[in-house]
Amino acid sequence: MNRTILFETERLECATWNEGDRALAFALWGDHEVAKWISSKGFLSEDEVEARLTQEIQRQKEAGVQYWPLFEKESEVFVGCCGLRPYSSEEDMYELGFHLTRDHWGKGYAQEAARAVIGYAFDKMNVKALFAGHHPDNEVSRHILIKLGFEYTGDERYEPTGKMHPSYVLRK
């Protein structure tokens, strides 16, 4: 695979999205079981997946961050994405997020990747705090954020789902 690796964990390589990743983006965000946590309709259309990929590529160019694609080191199989996006400019705060393909749920990849992204944000980018939120029905994401040391700060409306999402902050 011809990719630039941003950083690695014990089992994963973190790269950047590019125009040739349409099939990977669709395998992730086109899956209704994944999209139900991030969309009010419970799915993303092909155009919406395409727009999401374009947005991630653009964010990397403009802000130097994105929800970076993750690959298993051993097999080079795509497992999902984990990364950052600007959240609050006044506080120099970024939002942490992760989305995994369904066949990689329950293997500890989200927590492993998130730990690496947190380290990247605090050590390489010198970010002071990270925000994270999750769908109110997603207990797995809640559990991961708590294990990572995030503290619950209240509920916040998340436009893409139209729901109040539990929200958390992790300070350096």
Q: Confirm whether 164 is domain-assigned.
A: yes
Is the pLDDT at 104 greater than 60? The verdict is yes
Is the pLDDT at 136 greater than 80? The verdict is yes
Q: Confirm whether 132 is domain-assigned.
A: yes
Q: Confirm whether 13 is domain-assigned.
A: yes
Q: How confident is the model at residue 89 (pLDDT cuts 50, 70, 90)?
A: confident
Is the pLDDT at 172 greater than 60? The verdict is yes
Please give the Cα distance from 24 to 34 (Å, whole number). Answer: 13
Q: Confirm whether 1 is domain-assigned.
A: no
- For residue 29, give every residue at least 6 positions away whose Cβ sits within 8 Å of its Cβ, in sequence order, or none: 35, 38, 44, 48, 49, 52, 99
Number of compact structural domains in the chain: 1
- Look up the domain containing 43 and give its range: 7-171
Alpha-helical (H) ranges within the chain are: 22-29, 32-35, 46-63, 109-119, 139-147
Give me the CATH number covering residue 81.
3.40.630.30
Q: Confirm whether 107 is domain-assigned.
A: yes
DSSP label of 19:
G
3 state DSSP class of 102? helix
Amino acid at 126: N
Half-sphere exposure of 10 (CA within 13 A, CB side): 8
Q: Confirm whether 24 is domain-assigned.
A: yes
Question: pTM of the predicted model, to two decimals?
Answer: 0.94
Q: Confirm whether 124 is domain-assigned.
A: yes
Give strand pairing partners of 79: none
In this predicted structure, what is the pLDDT of residue 140?
95
Please give the Cα distance from 6 to 118 (Å, whole number). Answer: 14
Q: Confirm whether 2 is domain-assigned.
A: no
Is the pLDDT at 1 greater than 60? The verdict is no
